[in-house]
Amino acid sequence: MKATRKVVLLVDDDAGVRKYAGILLRSQGYVVLSARDGREGLELCAEHPGPIDLLLTDITMPQVGGRELAAGAVKLRPQLEVIFMSGDAWESFPAADTGPNTSFLPKPFTSAGLVQLTRERLSDKAQPRLAQ
């Protein structure tokens, strides 16, 4: 029996970040759904017929930000893992609306950092953490 490939919903308003992260995640065997902003990300989350295992999203985006996106996406898919990305320090964001299935990846990130944190979030024993 073939293992099911994990699906990552990648949302960032920076086309370069989307392209880089998408290429990297696909090279690791993940299926990547890509969205330009939080609104498009929510639409993809609602309309995608199969599973979505991980949301990888920028925090600061125009219109619908990453936190609002994550809240909506987790309502649609309660088991969804979330990695927030930002160029700002994690400590500068209020922790009140982050859940147990969330982690933080500081920008700029390394390919190794993104791959490692993605693997950790998609493992069976994932714990919230900050990427190194």
Is 116 domain-assigned? yes
Predicted local distance difference test score (pLDDT) of residue 123: 87
Domain count of the fold of the chain? 1
15 vs 52: CA distance, rounded Å:
21
Answer for the pair 71, 64: CB distance below 8 angstroms, yes or no. no
Token pair in block for residue 118 = 């993605």
Other CB atoms within a 10 A radius of the CB of residue 74 amount to 18
Query: 13: domain CATH number?
Result: 3.40.50.2300
Contacts of 108 (CB under 8 A, 6+ apart): 87
pLDDT tens-digit readout, 63-113 = 899 999 999 999 999 999 999 998 876 656 655 456 678 888 989 999 999
pLDDT tens-digit readout, 18-67 = 999 999 999 999 999 999 999 999 999 999 999 999 999 999 998 899 99
Full residue range of the structural domain in which residue 98 is found: 8-54+69-121
Is 64 domain-assigned? no
Strand order in the sheet with 7-11: 31-35, 7-11, 54-58, 81-86, 102-106
